[in-house]
């Protein structure tokens, strides 16, 4: 019996927008269903969930399902700007509006006219920025900084945060009226560790994605490696899973994703629920591979160094399917 898991081609899941939204998880299904039903309306949407769960992916998905899909999708990470810079990013400015404003600049709200504006990390914006945005949402007009001219503006707002907004309201750091204005529909995306039933397909999806992108022929993944990935709890959610798989595909030799390339952190974490026997086999295999390689695959020397007979070494090489890689 093979120790490897074959990679089923998941091309069906490779949607045109390059994300994978198939799920068997109840909470994720609910989130997806809400997003789908709310997409073709102008209702403001607040996406909640830990960092890396796919809030921006959802915002994109909603935009592409809406009648605004042929217009811009403009995303801005509010956390990345100081208050002054954020105002200027949002509203744009006229030439000479402030020191350093050498040119007229269109703001992101204006750029999103006819389309969707996605404000990520909304929980971090100041009370002043909240008040300004509240006015824009109510009046549907903006002015560039340094101008008096009011411009009519039409955009759909989607916001996201990984913060506890209710607590921010209690701390008086978030305006309650603004919260209600941006949260007509609230969608909570569950963390990856709570949707383990989707992990197998997501792992396959990213393997296929990176195999195609990196032009590598990946045929299988060692069973122990697959188990370690299945047992890990992904504090960085889908972003972390995606990065891990990219790395494993880059490092894969002869089309096989191997346990030896899985970092210790995942290995240790993922091994918690592995049977002792599996841990022993994985460790033993890694060690034999290392000693074989150090001895340039000389069986006599390797067996000697490992303290076993040549026959035992041959048996282990067969059992663990150890190959020589040139
Ligand atoms: N369903 C999915 N299919 C494919 N890729 C996904 C999916 N969900 C998330 N990703 C990928 O994971 C990464 C993180 O996703 P995204 O930026 O949407 O998360 P986020 O919740 O907005 O994170 P943050 O709170 O840190 O901004 C991105 O590279 C994204 O492409």
pLDDT at 9 over 50: no
C-alpha dihedral sign at 251, 267, 56, 119: negative
Taking only the tens place, the pLDDT of each residue in 195-238 is 999 999 999 999 999 999 999 999 888 888 898 899 899 999 99
Report the candidate in 234, 320, 323 with the shortest Cα–Cα distance to residue 283: 320
Is residue 317 predicted with pLDDT exceeding 50? yes
Q: Whose CA is nearest to atom 11 of ligand 1?
A: 239
Mean per-residue pLDDT, 291-303? 92
**pLDDT above 90 as % of the chain:** 63
β-sheet bridge partners, residue 75: 118
Distance 52 CA to ligand 1 centre (A): 5
What is the reported pLDDT for 267? 66
Q: Is the pLDDT of residue 4 over 70?
A: no
C-beta atoms surrounding 46 within 10 Å: 21
- pLDDT band, residue 152 (cuts 50/70/90): very high
Q: Is the ipTM of this complex over 0.95?
A: yes
Question: Ligand 1: does its nearest atom lie under 6 Å from the Cβ of 42?
Answer: no
Token representation of residue 16 = 């045109």
Cβ of 191 closer than 6 Å to ligand 1, yes or no, is: no
Look at residue 35 and tell me whether its pLDDT is greater than 90: yes
Can you name the residues that pair with 142 across neighbouring β-strands?
151
The best mutation among 11, 13, 57 to test binding of ligand 1, ranked by most ligand atoms within 8 Å of the C-beta, falls on 57
Tokens of 281: 């086999």
C-alpha dihedral, 125 to 131 to 132 to 136, nearest 10°: 110
Specify the pairing of strand 105-106 against strand 92-93: antiparallel
Query: What local confidence, expressed as pLDDT, does residue 275 receive?
Result: 63
Of 1, 11, 75, residue with least CA distance to 208: 11
Q: What is the mean pLDDT of the chain?
A: 88
Confidence band for 265, pLDDT divided at 50, 70 and 90: low
Structure confidence by residue, pLDDT tens digits, 166-199: 999 999 999 999 999 999 999 999 999 999 999 9
Q: Pseudo-torsion of CA 31, 185, 106, 56, nearest 10°?
A: -10
Q: CB of 21 closer than 6 A to ligand 1?
A: yes
Looking at the predicted structure, is the pLDDT value of residue 12 above 70? no
**Pocket lining: 53 vs ligand 1, CB cutoff 6 Å:** yes
Q: Contact 82/128 with Cβ under 8 angstroms?
A: no
Rounded to 5°, the CA angle 62-66-71 comes to: 100
Q: What is the average per-residue pLDDT within 149-178?
A: 94
**Domains assigned to the chain:** 4-9+194-319 (1.10.8.60), 26-189 (3.40.50.300)
For a mutational test of ligand 1's pocket, the pick from 28, 56, 245, i.e. the residue with the most ligand atoms closer than 8 A to its C-beta, is: 56
Instruction: Give the list of residues 6+ apart from residue 59 with CB closer than 8 angstroms, or none.
Output: 45, 47, 73, 75, 116, 118, 158, 160
Is 57's C-beta closer than 6 angstroms to any atom of ligand 1? yes
Minimal-distance CA residue to ligand 1 atom 12 = 239
* pLDDT of amino acid 321: 79
Categorize the per-residue pLDDT at 85 as very low, low, confident or very high, splitting at 50, 70 and 90. confident
């Amino acid at each position: 019996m093979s120790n490897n898991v074959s990679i089923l081609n998941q091309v069906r899941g490779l949607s045109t927008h390059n994300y994978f939204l198939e799920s068997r998880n109840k909470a994720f299904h609910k989130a997806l269903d809400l997003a789908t039903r709310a997409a073709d309306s102008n209702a403001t949407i607040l996406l909640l969930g830990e960092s890396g769960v796919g809030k921006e992916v959802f915002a994109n998905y909603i935009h592409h399902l809406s009648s605004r899909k042929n217009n811009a999708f403009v995303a801005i990470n509010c956390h990345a700007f100081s208050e002054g810079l954020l105002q200027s990013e949002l509203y744009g400015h006229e030439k000479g509006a402030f020191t350093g404003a050498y040119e007229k600049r269109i703001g992101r709200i204006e750029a999103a006219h006819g389309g969707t504006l996605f404000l990520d990390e909304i929980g971090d914006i100041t009370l002043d920025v909240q008040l300004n945005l509240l006015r824009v949402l109510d009046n549907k007009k903006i002015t560039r900084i340094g101008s008096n001219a009011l411009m009519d503006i039409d955009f759909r707002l989607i916001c996201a945060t990984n913060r506890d907004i209710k607590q921010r309201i209690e701390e008086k750091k978030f305006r309650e009226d603004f919260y209600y204005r941006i949260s007509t529909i609230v969608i909570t995306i569950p963390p990856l560790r709570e949707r383990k039933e989707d992990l197998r397909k997501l792992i396959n999806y990213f393997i296929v994605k990176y195999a195609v992108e990196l032009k590598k022929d990946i045929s299988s993944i060692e069973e122990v490696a697959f188990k370690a990935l299945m047992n890990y709890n992904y504090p960085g959610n889908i972003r972390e899973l995606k990065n891990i798989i990219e790395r494993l595909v880059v490092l894969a030799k002869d089309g096989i994703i191997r346990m030896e390339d899985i970092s210790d952190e995942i290995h240790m974490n993922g091994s918690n629920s592995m049977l002792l026997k599996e841990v022993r086999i994985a460790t033993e295999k890694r060690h034999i591979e290392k000693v074989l390689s150090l001895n340039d695959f000389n069986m006599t020397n390797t067996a000697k160094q490992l303290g076993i007979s040549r026959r035992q070494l041959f048996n282990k090489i067969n059992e663990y399917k150890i190959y020589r890689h040139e």
